Every structure is written in structure tokens, then in C-alpha cells.
């Protein structure tokens, strides 16, 4: 069967399904309408393929209302991958210039400034406090959100790596990893970032590359090789790296209940669930208190695939609901392992619960008087 034939068969099955996955779709939660659901999106694509309907303005909107969180996939018996179908369709929309203006603006920022915020590229590494980066052993690829918006994540990552005895290399030539472009359909611009970053990273003599952003992680480990851009050193997410060295981290002895929010790109998209939990438990000295929806069943924070750029109020509703789920189990602290999730959850927490990204939580543990080192 051709690729187009397979897609047609998938959307046909989904369009005729009793929609068992709808209750986990965060955008159904936010809009309470049948269109922004897995089934609604598949029905739209099915109608287009069978010539019943062209994708009009409303159709474009529905396709860009998807978080590409893949939660529907965990419920789908025939394993229809709505996130990929949506992403493919977004590529067609970008190619024909029919993407929402917010997506265009984001792509133009990346083209002009190498980050999706339109910040000056010359200020990318302004978060860096130390200058002692001799003898590179590990490259830290900070990603745009930690570099410009959540600088303590980048700063604490360097401090932890130095605490563990590593020398860290940072490049002034790092560009956006391309993830926001891959996810919103501008693959061509995303691949320009990939080509540049692979050249720069392969040029540095180091053992491995560490990332703190799961969006970067997915881009560097999946999108790049799938498109022929190969890095010559392994890429590790900080949670996996720290889990490898967990015995060297201070053993905590703290009170309070800590929960973990699984980022979609780290959990469902990359299968990393245990590593961040092991690191958190080492630092806190207590087992994680799980939210009802956890691991592959974790609810997205609402900050993915361009949703916050295009529909900020609905994105915030989803983030608030995720915070409510943590408050529901009386968590004192939410730890996540993604600068995007941290940004959203912290904003929606309204100071009712502390929110940390993993390196911030670990660094706090290292600095705290409540922990003793081995
Ligand atoms: S994604 Fe799967 S479970 Fe959900 S409506 Fe489509 S076929 Fe049904
Ligand atoms: S990927 Fe997420 S937001 Fe998109 S249809 Fe599936 S559950 Fe809903």
C-alpha cells in the first residue's frame, strides 16, 4: 500500500471510530467541542481525502489546535498516530502558505535571530556565569527557552556538571534546534537549523552532548537522523545523564511530597520515564507521589506544538488543569524536566505549589543543608 493509501486507511478508521480516546485529549478538555479532538481531526482529513470537503480556515484552525502530545495514541487500539497525521498536514499547509500568521512569525524569528522569541542571537549565552570552560568533555546544548527565558535551568545544569567533575563546552554558534518548526510544519526551515547545528556540534571535541529540553532531545535524536543529519557523539537528556551518576548525587532527607510531571517529548515520544523519577527520589529522599495521570497517561501541560503561541488562553486552561491535578494529591512541589513545561506550570501555579525543572531541583538539593553527601 502506498504512503497516501496508508494515511487514507488510518483516517477512515479513525473517522468511523466511537472516539474512545477523546476523554484524554487536552484540547477536547479546553474547547469542549468535537472538532478539536483526535476523531475531529481525522474526520477532517478523511473528508478532504474523499473529496467531501476542502480544508478551509476552520479546518486549518482545528489542525493547529492539536498539541501533538500523542496521548490519544496510548488509547487507540489500531494505533492511529494523530499527532503525525496532523504534523504532516501542517507541512502541506506551510508549503502552500496557508499556515496561521503566528506560525509564520515564529519561523521568521528563527530565520532572522536563530531563536523563536526574536531575541538577539548575540545574547544567547548571556546566562553563562562562569568562564572556566576549558578542556571540553561534554557539550551542553541549552536550547532557546533555557537560554532566554528560564536561565536558571541552564545555569544550574552547568553547576551540576561541574559539581560532578565534568568540563563543559558551550558554543556561541548554537541555533534553535528546529523543534518548534518541525512541530508546526516548517520542515525546510527546521532542517536548516539541523544542518547548522550538526556542523557546529560535530566540530567540537567532546564525549557527549547533554540537553535539558525534551524538544531539543527529540529533534537531535529523531528529527535530525531521520532527515540525514547525523551527530558524531551521543545525545543524552539531563535526566538520563544524572540517573547514570545518581550515586554521586547527594542523598536527600527532606519532608514534603514531590510529584513529577512527564513532558510529552520526554515520556510518550522518547520513552524516558524512570530516569527523572530516580534522580528526584535520590535528592528528596522520598518516593515520588504520583498524580493520577502519570507516565504514558500524563496530561500535556498545554505548552506544545505552537498552542500557546496561537491559542494562549486555551493553553493556559490546560496548564491550570495540570496544576489542579498536582494540588489534588497535596503535592508541595511539582518537578518536571522541560523548560517549556516548567514555564507553563509555574505561571499557572499562582504560587500555590512550587515548580522546578530537574536541574533546579537537583541544584537546590546539592546546596541544601538537608542533604548529606556520600
Ligand atoms: S485516535 Fe484511535 S481511539 Fe481515537 S478516535 Fe481515532 S481510531 Fe478512535
Ligand atoms: S495529539 Fe494530543 S492534542 Fe492532538 S488529538 Fe491527540 S490527544 Fe488531542
Phi, psi of 266 (to 5 degrees): -85, -45
**Does 167 reside within a domain?**
yes
**Domain co-membership, 78 together with 136:** no
The pick from 11, 14, 25 for probing ligand 2's pocket by mutation, whose C-beta has the most ligand atoms within 8 angstroms, reads: 25
pTM of the model: 0.94
- Find out whether the beta carbon of 67 lies less than 6 Å from any atom of ligand 2: yes
**Domain co-membership, 360 together with 221:** yes
**Domain co-membership, 183 together with 229:** yes
Q: Is the pLDDT of residue 17 over 70?
A: yes
Q: Total structural domains in the chain?
A: 2
Cell 561534554, located at residue = 138
Position 279 confidence tier, pLDDT thresholds 50, 70, 90: very high
**Does 37 reside within a domain?**
yes
**Domain co-membership, 22 together with 51:** yes
Mean pLDDT calculated for residue range 153-171: 92
Q: Is the pLDDT of residue 16 over 90?
A: no
**Domain co-membership, 92 together with 131:** no
- Find out whether the beta carbon of 65 lies less than 6 Å from any atom of ligand 2: no
| All three cell numbers of 131 | 568562564
Position 132 confidence tier, pLDDT thresholds 50, 70, 90: low
Position 135 confidence tier, pLDDT thresholds 50, 70, 90: low
Per-residue confidence (pLDDT) for residue 220, from 0 to 100: 98
Mean pLDDT calculated for residue range 332-359: 97
Q: Is the pLDDT of residue 370 over 50?
A: no
Mean pLDDT calculated for residue range 162-167: 90
| Minimum CA distance residue for ligand 2 atom 6 | 72
Higher pLDDT, residue 267 or 10: 267
**Domain co-membership, 242 together with 303:** yes
| All three cell numbers of 238 | 539531563
**Does 265 reside within a domain?**
yes
DSSP collapsed to 3 states, 207-238: CEEEECCHHHHHHHHHHHHHCCCCCCCCEEEH
Around ligand 1, the residues with Cβ closer than 6 Å are 13-14, 17, 19-21, 38-39, 42, 72, 75-76, 78, 80, 82
Mean pLDDT of all residues in the chain?
93
Domain that holds residue 343: 117-374
| Strands, sheet with 333-336, edge to edge from the N-terminal-most edge strand | 258-261, 333-336, 354-357
**Domain co-membership, 193 together with 278:** yes
User: pLDDT tens, 204-260?
Assistant: 999 999 999 999 999 999 999 999 999 999 999 999 999 999 999 999 887 789 999
Q: Are the C-beta atoms of residues 341 and 263 closer than 8 Å to each other? A: yes
**Does 303 reside within a domain?**
yes
User: What is d(CA 187, CA 181) in angstroms, rounded to the nearest whole number?
Assistant: 6
Per-residue confidence (pLDDT) for residue 373, from 0 to 100: 43
Count helices and strands in the chain by DSSP H and E runs: 19, 7
**Domain co-membership, 212 together with 87:** no
Per-residue confidence (pLDDT) for residue 372, from 0 to 100: 45
| All three cell numbers of 8 | 487514507
Among 12-16, 223-227, 351-355, the range scoring the smallest mean pLDDT is 12-16
**Does 57 reside within a domain?**
yes
User: pLDDT tens, 64-87?
Assistant: 999 999 999 999 988 999 999 999
**Domain co-membership, 152 together with 279:** yes
The enclosing domain of 73 has a CATH number of 1.10.1060
The residue out of 99, 126, 147 marking a domain boundary is 99
**Does 109 reside within a domain?**
no
Mean pLDDT calculated for residue range 29-41: 93
**Domain co-membership, 316 together with 256:** yes
Closest residue by Cα to residue 244 from 199, 289, 194, 207:
207
Amino acid at each position: 500500500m502506498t504512503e497516501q493509501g496508508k494515511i487514507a486507511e488510518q483516517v477512515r478508521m479513525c473517522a468511523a471510530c466511537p472516539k474512545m480516546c477523546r476523554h484524554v485529549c487536552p484540547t477536547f478538555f479546553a474547547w469542549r467541542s468535537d472538532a478539536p479532538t483526535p476523531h475531529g481531526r481525522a474526520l477532517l482529513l478523511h473528508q478532504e481525502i474523499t473529496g467531501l470537503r476542502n480544508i478551509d480556515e476552520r479546518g486549518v484552525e482545528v489542525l493547529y489546535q492539536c498539541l501533538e502530545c500523542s496521548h490519544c495514541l496510548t488509547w487507540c487500539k489500531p494505533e492511529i498516530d494523530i499527532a503525525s497525521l496532523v504534523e504532516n498536514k501542517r507541512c502541506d499547509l506551510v508549503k502552500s502558505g496557508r499556515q496561521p500568521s503566528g506560525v509564520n512569525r515564529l519561523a521568521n524569528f528563527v530565520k532572522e535571530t536563530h531563536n523563536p522569541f526574536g531575541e538577539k542571537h548575540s545574547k544567547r549565552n548571556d546566562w553563562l556565569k562562569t568562564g572556566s570552560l576549558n578542556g571540553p568533555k561534554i557539550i551542553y546544548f541549552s536550547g532557546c527557552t533555557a537560554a532566554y527565558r528560564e536561565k536558571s535551568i541552564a545555569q544550574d545544569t552547568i553547576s551540576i556538571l561541574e559539581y560532578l567533575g565534568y568540563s563543559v563546552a558551550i558554543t556561541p554558534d548554537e541555533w534553535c534546534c528546529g523543534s518548534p518548526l518541525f512541530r508546526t510544519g516548517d520542515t525546510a526551515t527546521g532542517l536548516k537549523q539541523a544542518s547548522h547545528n550538526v556542523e557546529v556540534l560535530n566540530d567540537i571535541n567532546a564525549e557527549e552532548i547533554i540537553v535539558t529540553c525534551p524538544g531539543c532531545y527529540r529533534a537531535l535524536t529523531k528529527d535530525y537522523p531521520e532527515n540525514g543529519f547525523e551527530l558524531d557523539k551521543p545525545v543524552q537528556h539531563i535526566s538520563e545523564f544524572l540517573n547514570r551518576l545518581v550515586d554521586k548525587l547527594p542523598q536527600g532527607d527532606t519532608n514534603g511530597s514531590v510529584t513529577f510531571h512527564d513532558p510529552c517529548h520526554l515520556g510518550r515520544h522518547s520513552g524516558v520515564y524512570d530516569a527523572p523519577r530516580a534522580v528526584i527520589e535520590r535528592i528528596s529522599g522520598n518516593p515520588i507521589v504520583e498524580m493520577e495521570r502519570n507516565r504514558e497517561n500524563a496530561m500535556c501541560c498545554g505548552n506544545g506544538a505552537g498552542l500557546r503561541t496561537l491559542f494562549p488562553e486555551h493553553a493556559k486552561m490546560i496548564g491550570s488543569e495540570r496544576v489542579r491535578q498536582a494540588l489534588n494529591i497535596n503535592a508541595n512541589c511539582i518537578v518536571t524536566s522541560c523548560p517549556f513545561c516548567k514555564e507553563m506550570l509555574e505561571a499557572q501555579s499562582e504560587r500555590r505549589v512550587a515548580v522546578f525543572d530537574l536541574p533546579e531541583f537537583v541544584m537546590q538539593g546539592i546546596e541544601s543543608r538537608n542533604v548529606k553527601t556520600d
